């Protein structure tokens, strides 16, 4: 599959770039692995901050509500009993739960190849993507020239501070180093902009195992 290539100025280059079928032409028969990799990314980024207090952690309840016998009511030793309103929580989150999900390297790379194959038609290649001054207007103008719209994922081989600063104030634009491309970012992107060096690096890294 060939995709259009743009120069640094945002004009179409004379020759188009062919995407490697081993990386961008994988036959995705079902989306089970893609879903597993997508969910694993979210789970591994989850912050474990939820904590529920047990009866021993709630303040008060030290005094016995009523005497043990003779009242006709059920016996209770504390008003912080879990079955009382304002009591402790049974089997609630403790903050020690482990929500991470593990995928082996082979599965991760296959899932990434599948994701890139699904989004192959949305790929745009540019000769280079460098922001010298870190100006947002300059990058926005360039993206408009190459017709990159909506959620844009920019994949480069060198993630410079100037490029990050230029993209920071543009809504729905994300800059990623080619070594850290993941299924979540690829599937959420409506347009994927590769620099030629980044495309070569991703193809070499993912294409070796596919062959």
**pLDDT tens per residue across span 174-203:** 999 999 999 999 999 999 999 999 999 999
9-24 pLDDT tens trace: 888 887 888 999 999 9
DSSP label of 75: P
Closest residue by Cα to residue 126 from 4, 14, 1: 4
- State the Cα angle at 11 between 158 and 154, rounded to 5°: 30
C-alpha 158/C-alpha 195 separation (Å) is: 10
Among 13-22, 34-43, 154-163, whose mean pLDDT is lowest? 13-22
Average pLDDT, the chain: 92
C-alpha 198/C-alpha 133 separation (Å) is: 21
What is the token pair recorded at 25? 């032409």
Closest residue by Cα to residue 158 from 197, 203, 101, 116: 197
Q: Please give the residue that has the higher pLDDT: either 132 or 94.
A: 94
106-129 pLDDT tens trace: 999 999 999 999 999 999 999 988
pLDDT at 38 over 60: yes
* All structural domains of the chain: 2-46+103-210 (3.40.1370.10), 48-98 (no CATH)
Q: Please state, for a pLDDT cut of 90, what percent of the chain lies above it.
A: 83
The pLDDT, as a whole number, for residue 68 is 96
C-alpha 88/C-alpha 3 separation (Å) is: 61
C-alpha 200/C-alpha 198 separation (Å) is: 5
Mean pLDDT of 116-144: 92
Q: Please state, for a pLDDT cut of 70, what percent of the chain lies above it.
A: 99
14 C-beta neighbours (distance < 10 Å), count = 6
The pLDDT, as a whole number, for residue 131 is 83
- One-character DSSP codes across 12-26: BPSSPEEPPHHHH--
The pLDDT, as a whole number, for residue 32 is 96
pLDDT at 84 over 90: yes
Torsions phi, psi of 178, nearest 5?
A: -60, -20
The β-bridge relationship of strands 173-177 and 152-156 is parallel
pLDDT at 4 over 90: no
pLDDT at 211 over 60: no
């Amino acid at each position: 599959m060939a995709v259009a290539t743009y120069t640094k100025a945002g004009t179409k280059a004379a020759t188009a770039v062919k995407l490697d079928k081993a990386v961008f032409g994988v036959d995705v028969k079902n989306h089970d692995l893609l879903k597993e990799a997508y969910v694993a990314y979210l789970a591994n980024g989850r912050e474990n901050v939820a904590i529920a207090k047990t009866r021993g952690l709630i303040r008060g309840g030290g005094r016995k509500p009523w005497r043990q016998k003779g009242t006709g009511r059920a016996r209770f030793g504390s008003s912080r009993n879990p079955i009382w309103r304002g009591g402790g929580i049974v089997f609630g989150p403790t903050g020690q739960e482990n929500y991470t999900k593990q995928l082996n390297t082979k599965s991760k790379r296959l899932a990434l190849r599948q994701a890139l194959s699904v989004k192959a038609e949305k790929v745009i290649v540019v000769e280079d993507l460098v922001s010298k001054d870190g100006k947002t207007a300059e990058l926005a103008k360039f993206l408009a020239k190459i017709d990159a719209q909506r959620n844009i994922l920019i994949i480069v081989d060198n993630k410079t501070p100037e490029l990050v600063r230029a993209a920071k104030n543009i809504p729905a634009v994300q800059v990623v180093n080619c070594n850290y491309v993941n299924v979540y970012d690829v599937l959420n992107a409506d347009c994927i902009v590769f620099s030629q060096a980044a495309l070569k690096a991703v193809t070499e890294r993912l294409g070796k195992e596919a062959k």
